[in-house]
Structure 1
């Protein structure tokens, strides 16, 4: 007891000693217009012993140093495009507020560099890669997407923008989040000529930014810093086109800027597979214009009506708000052919299907950050989604063994579902003055309800045993509700100038209630009145998890280290009333460690290593013990005895940026290992558990049930090297990756590991000649090896290669020629699946009106009429190829009008930048 008392006395003494130190704050601004400069590098050096502390300004240009001892200090600030700033001052016990620190524009120095060669590409500042937009030439009407895809480490993979090997998930403009879910739309609704610089970094979560402790939840972020003279005015584009086969497109996008206020409005109606319209859209709709929700190229023939509104502003000097509303109505018709080759037998599965889908949705997101005072901050982020979906699937499927059809199924599913999703997160943080203590609380709630009706027809012929033939006419009603909440409490205390300790408590609860009832059609009554108990199920589950543990953080000029350890106790309860009455309760005990280490070899070269662990609870669909025969040849059932997954994730990233030669190199390794991985157990023979007596299993049908298996792991490496080629005024990039995944599965009680190895290398050359000649050439080859441990004869290697050319050129008297050419080569796919194609789009336009604001163009989509959609999917028990219907050749005449008016420098907002300092993390 005496020893414990002594330790407490020492801790109090240490805390009192730390209290003798003070804080140094300030805000970094441009001297020309007083605008804030986010992510500026700030170095504080103590003159007596040359001890350095380093930080970066937040979204509003604010910086803060805590625990600063008395003495004389030198402050140095560096920011791309501005002259270096230095100031010496004295600290003598009281907090030091340096106020606005004004950086002089470095335009003169940049011009001197341009006389000798080219504008500087950018620089690496800690974990932030910052690129100078002046170093990349784009067409006059280019979007920010055209700009960033010229930058080293930024590519487009499967329709999604990637930076340094990861999908970009967040976009910011001048340090403020673009509130919305579609990253592509955000990037494509900003004009390239408005951008001063682009920052690429790993954004922290709001909780980490408020508490100053990294929780490991990083998202790849692009921050566009706009030019000072483009922050007041508007820019937009409107297009209307009509073409052959009654193809049409009408769309508009307008951006309004007035200092802190940003408003974007978009609207679109078309039947040429465009999901959104932006200021960078190619007249007539090019390949870039037909990306689906989430980025991937959409399959089928799609009619879309869309309207979106995005709003960002400051309400007074203490509130920062952002909101997004999106309405969408999509009508999709997609015909598919599917060929599936199974691992453990000579059995194959073929399917031809016609899919019709109509989806209407309303999405609303809002974000309000209230900086109450310098010690209290509040963040509220509600989200609401309403969706109605009507779908019709007609499927003709066959199971084939030794070239003979053993079962054939014709079935139709007509579904009408409505869903409501609402979530709200409230985050509050309190700082105890200059003591170095911060208390952060977070409450999150979410509610989801899905109510749907499905009519299902089935006519299945068993060519081996005719007694198993099935004719079915059923109605299914589904009512599913999910309510979840979580709470988090963090308390952190500085232990010195370089270290900090945090204690964290978390509790989360997820409650599911699913009621699925199936009714057979009663011929005599002419209604669906016969209740089918074996195919019905009521199911409730409740998951409650609590965790507690400490975190330690150490930061110096060269390195930083953070280690966390949490103990988690969780319970999962499940209960069902029918088809059988049962209840089940399980508990889980886990230790969840995590760590992050970063070392800065120099200002432009650094290495970061991150390790995290987490658990994942099974979904309702995986737990629900109800038979699903919507696809009679591939039926499935849930497993209420599933355990939660335990995941280990590790990634390492190395970055180097040579500002003198403009050479850039990125390399990363990402790895995941999962215990109790939820895999599929497939049964082709005897089934070791009881099924409804009325169920007739078809010959060759494969029965699926989720189970927990160990042995899943994957690893992927990524690299990118880029440098300018001054001899042809272009930027050259080479990138590649090596990946390996090991996926366990069970086939007739035997474990199979599907091993997939992927090698990819790509080259990219983007022009930097002039605004009148803009091209991008890229080629990427990918080789895949698929190996199965259960049956090596089913091993398969395949190769695909994609080459793309995009060219925009303006020549004689405002004539504009655009072309987009894509050659896709595939080798090793299934027989009967078309392997290769060339997709060629082009347009010829004429600029009209004053300042060439208008354009009339004639475009052609898929000139050679070869467009195809082929996708290979690899699972633990099969390899399949899917070919989908796509939009093919049409011609379109389009009129486009560009809107652009900037009134010059935005007036200074007297409230801007006040009280919005970040307490310890990136915004």
Structure 2
């Protein structure tokens, strides 16, 4: 032990002698403002070794573990001259102080060079785009800007970048506190943006410790122009149309450097879920909008919404952000569902007509408080709260049939009133022990979730095989569910030498869940729900305790970074149930080895490769564990399984990025995959149910009972690529993209194993204009071919094709007339009979800019001009393939008045400022960076 301690002391001393930190701050020489996102490079004079980093929101940068020697430091920032410094690293930390950069156009006098701005550059795993290179309409939002960039697209209402959904938005390096990233992007005007960065953001834990934990989020960071960081922007709109369609909304942004406040409000019945400064005048221009979490809206939705987002710096040490949102919605959604089962019974199928009426009333609050105690100590607290009430009614007519005719027909009516409360809080503390290379991080998380609800269910089912077994039931259901969990962990890392680090981590977590569901039958003579129904009732408790411990090793040099992790996890799952049957408490133990690895290699400043492998486990949910019958749809019943084990998941991904700043060509390719053992699959019974499962349940002819079981053999692999380059002859940007995917879902049907295999092939392209601010268009198309096969019944294999083509066109005509149009053509083949296969959604508006500064507009718009809009979704599972058609908003006309607000300190909101925006490139040398 004494020798080991001596060796450790020697290693610490060695690391302190041969590696030091280099820090500094990059500012504009003109106004002394910090330059965020600047590229900082240290080149070693005696070799080809290169160290790279970027400045933070204040313009500060920091290099860790810099070996002794002579270096040349280079700083690059779009629109500024290259800055170089000679740096001599010895045995003490170096602070270079303030590095002032000169703007390129300050030395050109009255000369202006107008040309094509460089798209941007690749900086390690960060793709940085120059907003000047993408021309947008004067009143465009950040969302309109980023969807012109290579590798960024809207898929099912969600913003995707480099094949992954964008999960986080930052402004000048600070997180936007809120759950809806699309709303955040719509509330930033494009003329405020200087650069856009796309990268995989580390978790707070990983960012503090320096060790990857596998919890990265696809992130877009908007770096704002320094002359747009003080002032306010906003939009106010109101409109009324045919069929009593209406909309009124406002969004106001106030910003003063670190302080940013956004207030939004909206009331409407045209499927708008939020309002923003990027809102296109007229309710018809909503072709690609979604709700919370993205996705295209279905149904007819009335929404009343209010939100406020706050971000500030309290003093020099505290960063604070908060987001509050209130939303009230009434939803009308009718659906038709056709389901083709994988079964030994020839031609077993299911149809359903459902009328859904829902009312949602919810409050959400998210906060983020980061206290930078000093250079070496940081504290982060992130609480969140959500309170929601949901009232719903569903009327369902369902039928099962085969080649011989109808087997069962069921009429169901159900209503519910549920109130939920969710609170979560995480505390994260990080300490760096000076320049010794030692870092300690610790975190503690608590979570409380409660659901309290009442429900009523009525069923009238006809049995065509045996009319004596027709079913009539009328029931009241009381639900009380509480989940409480806590978790904590400590990570300690130590520098081993010039290029390596070692970390030791310990984590512990506990999930305690209690679910009580009680069902009462209606008693005619008593006139109340007085008969306790034990088979449809259940009390269930579970306690899941997990602990993990293990080391991590990281090696980093100028070109590569390698991290290896080895964790050992041991967990226990205790369950207890009193009824429908009184079971003995069940206790299970799990022991798993959880390795992970990550490798990153930089071929050059513009080429980067990342490989990642992660393993983890997941405990089954209380809904999956609780053995209570759910016959809200009696022809598709469900029951839980208290014997479920945790699953074991292996995830991998590979990403290659190449961004040639000289040719403006961009190439991304990625592969993402998941393999799961003990996957929670569905075991479906169509005839007899084994003894001990769903005692007392009587099958309706053609009905199915599903029960979760653990199975091996789940695979999901997907690849994505994007290639983009400018098309100079039409002043536009061209992108071509494609994808290949394969999924394998295991399941069981009447005790027989079935694997549902789905192969997906996709390809498409888009062209976005870069002509001028007066002409803005985007043309895109994407086609997808799916091959579905089943191992149990090959006669039900199925292939289907989908193509989505869209055109968005904005044109500022003569005398301030503005024409906007959106066309979206959806083509499907291979879907079920009776489902509308193809449609054309055409939205259009014509507006007139008014007032002296042209900030007002009156517009007439039409939604779904051809009256063809439909919603079709295909779902593929291990036991069936189904097509679902839902209610959507169709044709209406609307007259709208909108007023844009723009006022920047030192940059008045004139027509020139509104139209210049990021689309114009003035000053500097074409292609310079």
Please, what TM-score do these two structures have when normalized by structure 2?
Answer: 0.95
Q: Which residue number corresponds to residue 146 of structure 1?
A: 144
Tell me how far apart the structure 1 counterparts of residues 244 and 289 of structure 2 sit (CA, whole Å).
18
RMSD (Å) for aligned C-alpha atoms: 1.7
Q: Which residue number corresponds to residue 250 of structure 1?
A: 248
Tell me how far apart the structure 2 counterparts of residues 55 and 266 of structure 1 sit (CA, whole Å).
36
Shift of 1:515: 0.5
Tell me how far apart the structure 2 counterparts of residues 794 and 744 of structure 1 sit (CA, whole Å).
16
For each residue in 1:195-236, what CA deviation from the matched residue of structure 2 results, as whole angstroms up to 9, or x when unmatched? Answer: 111000000000011111111211000011111111111111
Match of 1:7 among 4, 20, 35: 4
Match of 2:100 among 89, 102, 109: 102
Report matched runs for 1:256-655 at 5 Å: 256-285=254-283, 286-288=285-287, 290-344=289-343, 345=345, 346-582=347-583, 583-655=585-657
Larger deviation, residues 691-700 vs 298-307: 691-700
Matching of residue 897 in structure 1 with residue 899 in structure 2: yes
Tell me how far apart the structure 2 counterparts of residues 368 and 341 of structure 1 sit (CA, whole Å).
51
**Is contact 2:550–2:568 with CA below 8 Å preserved after alignment?**
yes
Tell me how far apart the structure 2 counterparts of residues 635 and 182 of structure 1 sit (CA, whole Å).
34
Matched residue of 2:795: which SS? helix
Shift of 1:68: 4.2
Change (3 A) 1:135 1:693: closer
**Is contact 2:157–2:289 with CA below 8 Å preserved after alignment?**
no
For each residue in 1:299-352, what CA deviation from the matched residue of structure 2 results, as whole angstroms up to 9, or x when unmatched? Answer: 110000001100111000000010000000010000000000011231100000
Tell me how far apart the structure 1 counterparts of residues 282 and 87 of structure 2 sit (CA, whole Å).
61
Change (3 A) 1:756 1:70: closer
For each residue in 1:61-95, what CA deviation from the matched residue of structure 2 results, as whole angstroms up to 9, or x when unmatched? Answer: 32223344555443222333332221124445433
For each residue in 1:804-846, what CA deviation from the matched residue of structure 2 results, as whole angstroms up to 9, or x when unmatched? Answer: 0111001111111101011111101000101011111100111
Tell me how far apart the structure 1 counterparts of residues 741 and 69 of structure 2 sit (CA, whole Å).
53
Larger deviation, residues 819-828 vs 522-531: 522-531
Change (3 A) 1:347 1:153: same
Tell me how far apart the structure 1 counterparts of residues 90 and 564 of structure 2 sit (CA, whole Å).
34
**Is contact 2:157–2:288 with CA below 8 Å preserved after alignment?**
no
Q: Which residue number corresponds to residue 685 of structure 2?
A: 683
Q: Which residue number corresponds to residue 20 of structure 1?
A: 17
Tell me how far apart the structure 1 counterparts of residues 906 and 654 of structure 2 sit (CA, whole Å).
44
Tell me how far apart the structure 2 counterparts of residues 395 and 422 of structure 1 sit (CA, whole Å).
34
Shift of 1:8: 2.9
Report matched runs for 1:763-774 at 5 Å: 763-774=765-776
Change (3 A) 1:289 1:347: closer
Q: Which residue number corresponds to residue 847 of structure 2?
A: 845
Tell me how far apart the structure 1 counterparts of residues 760 and 632 of structure 2 sit (CA, whole Å).
34
**Is contact 1:504–1:549 with CA below 8 Å preserved after alignment?**
yes
Report matched runs for 1:21-170 at 5 Å: 21=18, 22-47=20-45, 51-68=49-66, 71-107=69-105, 115=113, 117-170=115-168
Tell me how far apart the structure 2 counterparts of residues 35 and 504 of structure 1 sit (CA, whole Å).
40
For each residue in 1:169-197, what CA deviation from the matched residue of structure 2 results, as whole angstroms up to 9, or x when unmatched? Answer: 00011111111000000001111111111
Matching of residue 759 in structure 1 with residue 761 in structure 2: yes
Report matched runs for 1:860-899 at 5 Å: 860-899=862-901
Shift of 1:416: 0.2
Q: Which residue number corresponds to residue 922 of structure 2?
A: none
Matched residue of 2:532: which SS? strand
For each residue in 1:341-383, what CA deviation from the matched residue of structure 2 results, as whole angstroms up to 9, or x when unmatched? Answer: 0112311000000000000000000000000011110000000
Change (3 A) 1:714 1:69: closer
Shift of 1:49: 5.8
Tell me how far apart the structure 1 counterparts of residues 278 and 74 of structure 2 sit (CA, whole Å).
39
Matched residue of 1:262: which SS? strand
**Is contact 1:459–1:470 with CA below 8 Å preserved after alignment?**
yes
Change (3 A) 1:154 1:69: closer
**Is contact 2:264–2:308 with CA below 8 Å preserved after alignment?**
yes
Shift of 1:149: 0.4
Shift of 1:774: 0.4
Change (3 A) 1:248 1:624: same
Tell me how far apart the structure 1 counterparts of residues 25 and 642 of structure 2 sit (CA, whole Å).
56
**Is contact 1:568–1:591 with CA below 8 Å preserved after alignment?**
yes
Change (3 A) 1:878 1:113: farther
Q: Which residue number corresponds to residue 701 of structure 1?
A: 703
**Is contact 1:679–1:708 with CA below 8 Å preserved after alignment?**
yes
**Is contact 1:455–1:476 with CA below 8 Å preserved after alignment?**
yes
**Is contact 1:867–1:886 with CA below 8 Å preserved after alignment?**
yes
Tell me how far apart the structure 2 counterparts of residues 589 and 113 of structure 1 sit (CA, whole Å).
71
**Is contact 1:40–1:56 with CA below 8 Å preserved after alignment?**
yes
For each residue in 1:539-561, what CA deviation from the matched residue of structure 2 results, as whole angstroms up to 9, or x when unmatched? Answer: 00010100001111111111111
Q: Which residue number corresponds to residue 915 of structure 2?
A: none
**Is contact 1:26–1:62 with CA below 8 Å preserved after alignment?**
yes
Matched residue of 1:16: which SS? helix
Change (3 A) 1:112 1:752: farther
Tell me how far apart the structure 2 counterparts of residues 754 and 657 of structure 1 sit (CA, whole Å).
39
**Is contact 2:287–2:822 with CA below 8 Å preserved after alignment?**
no
**Is contact 2:462–2:471 with CA below 8 Å preserved after alignment?**
yes
Q: Which residue number corresponds to residue 200 of structure 2?
A: 202
